[in-house]
A and B are shown apart, each in its own frame.
Chain A
Amino acid sequence: MAIQKATEGSSLGDILEKILDKGLVIAGDISISLADVELLTIKIRLVVASVDKAMEMGINWWKNDPFLSTDAMKNCQNELEEENRQLKDKIHKMQHGLA
C-alpha cells in the first residue's frame, strides 16, 4: 500500500511528537514537562545546533554559496563589479586607440 510507512524511517519530528508529548506520565522523582514546547521551536533549534556542530567539524560549504549566504553573495557582487570596471577600462582604451 503506497500510503503505508514503516516506523523505522521516522523523522525526529515523528519521534519527538510521540515521546515528548505522549506515553504514560508517571510521578517520577524527576520528570520534565515539554508538552508546552512547540515542536517547531525544537526543530529549528535542532537545525541550528546541527549547523554549529558541522562547522566545528570543518564542514562549511554553504558559506561560499551565494544562494545560501549573504556574505558569499556580497563577495560575488564585488567580484562582478570589479570585472565590470576592468572591462569598461579595456573598452575605453580600445575606443581611444581606434580614434
Chain B
Amino acid sequence: MNKTGLYVYGIINNIDDNLLHELAGVDGKHNLISIAECGVYAVASQVDLDEYGENSIESRLEDMVWVEDKARRHFNIQQYLFSTSTFIPVRFCTIYTDEGHLREFISLNSDKFLQAFCYFADKDEWTFKAYCDKRKFLEQNMEEERQLLCKQLENVSKGVYYFALKKQENTIENQAKEKLGKIRDDIWEHIKANVDDATLNKNLSRQVTERREEMIMNVALLVSRNRMSSFKKECEILEESLGRLNINIELTGPWPVYNFSAQKIS
C-alpha cells in the first residue's frame, strides 16, 4: 500500500465536517478532513507520498501543468474555507508525513491561533494595484513642459526654441520619473490612513499581468468590514484624479489573510 501524508490547507476556528468530507482535496482523489486540536482545526487531505513526497515533489514543481492544476485546487479549497469561517491560509505544498507532528504544531501555537481568529474575525484582505501607461504619462509631461517653454521663449526664433526643448527632454524624463515616485508615495499615504494595515509587495512584470501598462504599485490591505464602504469611496475619488494622469487602479477582494497571518502567528 502507498504511503500517504497530510496536505494542509489552513487553520480554521469552526468547521462542518459533513460538508467538508464531500469536497475533494488537491489530488482529486482523497476528500478533505479536519484535525481538531486545542480548540482549533487544521484542514487537510491525504496525498500519496509517491507524488508528494520529498523525493518526488521537487520534480513535480518543474511540471507547470501539474503546478497550475494543484495551485488552482489549493486556491479554490482555501476560497471555500474562507467563505465558511475565520480562516488562516497555509502556503502551497505544506505536507506532514506524520499526523502527530501536525497536532504538536497546532498545540504549541493554539493560543496564537485563537488570538489571530479574534483579530481577523471582522477584517478582510484586499489587493490594491496601480498601473501606469508610462508612454502616455511621459508624453503628457512633455506636452506640459513644451507649453511652458513656449510661453517662456515667446519671442525667440524657432531654432533657439528647438534646441532649448531638446536640452530639456532628458530633464523632463527625469522629472516625470520623480513625479511618478511622488504620486506613488501620495497613494501609499492616502491608503494607509484609511485601512487597518497595509503591506507593499513587489510589482508584477507585464509578461505576468499581460497588460500593456506597467504595474507601479502592488499593495495588500487589511480592512475592517465596517470601514470598507468608506474606503471604496476614497478609491473612487483616487480613481478619478489618477485617471487624468494615465494611471489606473484596481481593487480585488476579499481574500483570505495571505499577507497578514504570518506576522500574527510568528
Q: Which residues of A does B touch, CB under 8 Å?
A: 1-7, 10-20, 22-32, 34, 39-40, 42-46, 48-50, 53
Contacts and interface: CB of A to CB of B under 8 A. Distances in A.
A37 B239 CA distance: 32
Interface in B71-122: 71-72, 74-75, 78-79, 88-98, 101-102, 105
Given A24-B88, A26-B90, 19 more contacts: A1-B232, A2-B239, A3-B239, A5-B250, A5-B251, A6-B252, A7-B252, A7-B253, A7-B255, A11-B209, A14-B252, A19-B71, A20-B71, A22-B259, A24-B10, A30-B54, A31-B95, A49-B65, A49-B68
Nearest to A44: B207
B53 A30 contact: yes
Contact of A26 (B64, B72, B74, B105): B105
Interface of B: 5, 8, 10-11, 52-54, 57-58, 61, 63-65, 67-68, 71-72, 74-75, 78-79, 88-98, 101-102, 105, 127, 201, 204-205, 207-210, 220, 232, 235-236, 239, 248-256, 258-259, 261-262, 265
A13 B252 CA distance: 14
Contacts of A43: 207-208
Contacts of A25: 90-91, 94, 262
Given A42-B67, A43-B207, A30 B265 contact: no
Contacts of A13: 204, 208-210
B94 A28 contact: yes
A48 B89 CA distance: 30
B92 A32 contact: yes
A16 B68 CA distance: 9
Given A27-B105, A44-B207, A32 B251 contact: no
B88 to A, nearest CB: 6
Contacts of A6: 252
B8 A26 contact: yes
DSSP class of B's interface residues: helix, strand, loop or mixed? mixed
19 contacts: A3-B249, A4-B232, A4-B250, A13-B204, A15-B72, A17-B204, A19-B74, A19-B92, A23-B10, A24-B265, A25-B94, A30-B57, A30-B94, A31-B93, A32-B61, A40-B208, A42-B64, A42-B67, A49-B63
A57 to B, nearest CB: 12
Contacts of A27: 105
Contacts of B127: 14
Nearest to B94: A28
A22 B64 contact: no
A46 B68 contact: yes
B189 to A, nearest CB: 19
B71 A30 contact: no
A30 B252 contact: no
